[in-house]
Amino acid sequence: MTADALRAPTRPPLKIKRERALQLLFGLMIFLGFLVFVEPAPFDLIAVVFMPAVLFSRFKLDRLVIVLALILLLYNIGGFFSLIPWWHEQVSVVFTVLSLYLAILCVFFAVFFSRNSIERAELCLKAYTASAIIVAISGILGYFNVFGLFETLTLYGRAKGTFKDPNVYGPYLSLGILYLMQLLALKRTRHVVFTVLMLCVLMFGLLLSFSRGAWGAFVISASMMIFAGFLTAPTMQVRKRIVMLTVIVMASVALALFIAFLDPSTRELFIQRFAVTQYYDEGETGRFGSQLRSLTDLIEMPNGYGPMRYKHHQGGDPHNSYVNAFASYGWLGGFSFFVLVILSYFIGFRLLFARSPVQHAAQVFFPCLFTSFLQAMQIDIDHWRHVYLFIGAVWGLEAARLRWLRTGAMDTDAGSTPPARRDGLPAG
């Protein structure tokens, strides 16, 4: 070999270039998840490119991903059966097609996370957290009417940021909060002060959503992550950091409440929203009353009311994804949704406590999915894009973990995260 050939820079293999391009596309899509006040959202425009890109980049289907695809297929078949009498209703057609799109995207998420899992999960968490910080800042600016943005970035006096509803804005922030908490607990950040500052921004933004569901979801998901992290911590030193972090988070919440309560109107709104139920929940004509009435109908209606037809029978939206699964997707879709939730919980809890290379990522993703399914009992999460991301992440990470158990190594491309040993630590 000549000296010139030795000095010539080596080009990265095509496989590495393809992986880098795919990760860049995915990271951009996740980051732009905060721009949902325009239709179609930039997230969806990039998703149209992302899905074919996955097909052309070492595309493989694990058996677990096939199971997920079959469940989502049955769920959507139920929706299309329910749509048959309502083909002439544009809102019903759009709802059903959007459900199918999100189901397909969810499967591609699972495929994406099932390979190069450690590197891709870390990329997702970083991009998502950056997106959540922008969302939280927008909500805070709007709530305090900075630059006259109150009308644009709030709804009913509650921060909604770049989302259409405070009840979506609030839960969106949880994954970013949990990720920053984990970085601090595991000492995986070199910028401690900046990380703590961003954590405070996210938590303050969450507080200003005045969403009871978002508050409860955060408490439960953070408790799950802390508990799982404490039990599975490799050393006593890590356990001490987790306990210290818990104290810091509780102190930060107390400080945020103190600052918020300095404003009388904020204090009054907080006390009002802190009630377990609101006026529109109670009574025969309230949300819970209409849900109970619908159950007696749906028992006798195999195809349900039809997509987006619940309000024509009960006078309002169901605000319950379990009820809506039967109302909009029929018995087939309803039972498929229950199977999806049960299997996701089984898979998620196994990921949470089973030692593996993807355990840290799972301890962030699954608590957020767990609480999303809990929130589904009091709000419609059917078309929340980030919930489908959580589902895909949890199923994809479990597929990677099962393959690791069989082979003793994580599946990685050249130039990606090194294979992992059976003790769950990176090799080399």
pLDDT for res 251: 81
Q: Apex CA 70: angle with CA 65 and CA 71, to 5°?
A: 100
Listed in sequence order, the residues at least 6 apart from 398 whose beta carbon sits closer than 8 Å to its beta carbon are: 64, 347, 350, 351, 362
Within a domain: 420: no
Domain count, the chain: 1
Q: Does some domain include residue 6?
A: no
User: Is 245 inside a domain boundary?
Assistant: yes
Residue 428, in any domain of the structure: no
Residue 93: C-alpha distances to residues 47, 232, 308 (Å): 21, 47, 9
- Average pLDDT value for residue range 360-376: 96
Q: State whether residue 318 is helix, strand or coil.
A: coil
The mean pLDDT of 208-214, rounded to a whole number, is 89
Please state, in angstroms and rounded to a whole number, the distance separating the CA atoms of residues 331 and 75: 9
**pLDDT grade, residue 417 (50/70/90)?**
very low
Q: Is residue 49 exposed (0-12), middle (13-18) or buried (19+ Cβ within 10 Å)? A: exposed
Asked if 146 and 49 touch (Cβ cutoff 8 Å), the reply is no
Is residue 64 domain-resident?
A: yes
pLDDT of 4 higher than 90: no
Q: What is the rounded CA–CA span in Å between residue 157 and residue 308?
A: 28
Distance of alpha carbon 361 from alpha carbon 358, whole angstroms: 6
**H or E element at residue 155:** strand 154-155
pLDDT of residue 427: 37
Looking at residue 107, its pLDDT comes to 97
Contact by Cβ (8 Å): 156, 265: no
Query: Which band of pLDDT confidence, cut at 50, 70 and 90, is reported for residue 245?
Result: confident
Residue 416 lies in a domain: no
pLDDT of residue 426: 40
- Residue 15: the pLDDT is 76
User: Higher confidence at residue 414 or residue 301?
Assistant: 301
The mean per-residue pLDDT over the stretch 364-373 comes to: 97
Q: How large is the average pLDDT for residues 389-396?
A: 98
Could you give the C-alpha distances from 168 to 10, 28, 355, 382, 384, in angstroms and in order? 47, 21, 32, 12, 8
Task: Report pLDDT for 288.
Answer: 63
Question: Do the domain assignments include residue 91?
Answer: yes
Give the model's confidence band at 347: pLDDT under 50 very low, under 70 low, under 90 confident, else very high. very high
Cβ pair 238, 231 in contact under 8 A: no
Q: Which two tokens stand for residue 42?
A: 């930039």
Residue 218 within a domain: yes
* Residue whose entry in the numeric block shows the structure tokens 């601090």: 184
Per-residue confidence (pLDDT) for residue 425, from 0 to 100: 42
Q: What is the pLDDT of residues 303-320, one digit of tens each?
A: 889 898 888 777 677 888
When pLDDT is cut at 50, 70 and 90, the band that residue 276 belongs to is: low
Owner of token pair 């006390």: 271
- For the stretch 129-175, pLDDT in tens is 999 999 999 999 999 999 999 999 999 889 999 998 999 999 999 99
Model confidence at 211: pLDDT above 70: yes
DSSP 8-state assignment for residue 378: T
Work out the pLDDT band at 274, boundaries 50, 70, 90.
Answer: low
Average pLDDT along the chain:
86
Residue pLDDT, tens place only, 28-82? 999 999 988 777 889 999 999 999 999 888 777 899 999 999 999 999 999 999 9
- Looking at residues 3-29, what average pLDDT do you find? 75
Share of the chain above pLDDT 90, in %: 58
- Which DSSP letter does residue 84 get? G
Contacts of 5 (CB under 8 A, 6+ apart): none
DSSP helix/strand/coil, 161: coil
pLDDT of residue 337: 97
In order of 24, 40, 203, the CA distances from 90 in angstroms are: 35, 16, 39
* More confident position, 41 or 366: 366
In order of 193, 211, 224, 277, 288, the CA distances from 37 in angstroms are: 32, 19, 32, 28, 29
Res 92 pLDDT > 50: yes
For residue 49, give its domain range: 13-407
* Predicted pLDDT of residue 420: 44
